[in-house]
Amino acid sequence: MAKCHVTTTINGDPVEFLCTTEQTLLDVLRDELQLTGSKEGCASGDCGACSVMLDGRLVCSCLVLGVEVEGHAVETIEGMAQGDHLHPLQQKFLDHAALQCGICTPGFLVAAKALLEKNPDPSETEVRYWLAGNLCRCTGYDKIVRAVLDAAAQMRGA
């Protein structure tokens, strides 16, 4: 089947790509654009490892079709740091050892950033429920929640 030509914006940059109508946004990011920071854990929207922002809204990129982003704006983990400056969330994840194997980390960072943009002062419970769509098998979530709360505090104070 003929591929579709899509024009979009990814992490602020204009991007064009070809894809089949079957390919998800996750497939496109990873296989067509070599942006492998977003991960496939389940391809059914249950694990959140593929989390990206679409027009400022947190989505699972495995549940979005590649062709759907025509004319829209996508933000991935690759756009989170500014040059060599890590985002406070990224730094706090490192400081708090909020990652062990690291496979779920990009998804958590994108999701946490989305939370703090909406709610800069979340309670522990609010953090836990917002992040309930991101699975982690290594950490038991403790240090992840602490890192997010600490980053929120720093971002409010800075």
User: What mask of x and - would describe binding to another protein in positions 113 to 142, judged by CB under 8 A?
Assistant: -----------xx-xxx-xxxxxxxxxxxx
How many positions of this chain bind another protein (CB under 8 A)? 59
Could you give the C-alpha distances from 59 to 13, 19, 21, 96, 124, in angstroms and in order? Answer: 19, 20, 19, 26, 22
Q: Measured from the CB atom, is 39 or 69 closer to another protein? A: 39
Report how far residue 137's alpha carbon sits from residue 11's, in angstroms, rounded to the nearest whole number: 28
CB of 149 to another protein, least distance (A): 11
User: What mask of x and - would describe binding to another protein in positions 67 to 106, judged by CB under 8 A?
Assistant: ---------xxx-xx----x---x--xx-xx-xxxxxxxx
CA-based nearest residue to 8, from 69, 94, 98: 69
Residue 77 and residue 110 in contact, taking contact as beta carbons nearer than 8 Å = yes
Q: Measured from the CB atom, is 39 or 64 closer to another protein? A: 39
66 scored as a contact of another protein (CB under 8 A): no
Provide the 3-class DSSP secondary structure of residue 30.
helix
**Residues from 26 through 65 that contact another protein (CB under 8 A):** 30-31, 34-44, 46-47, 49
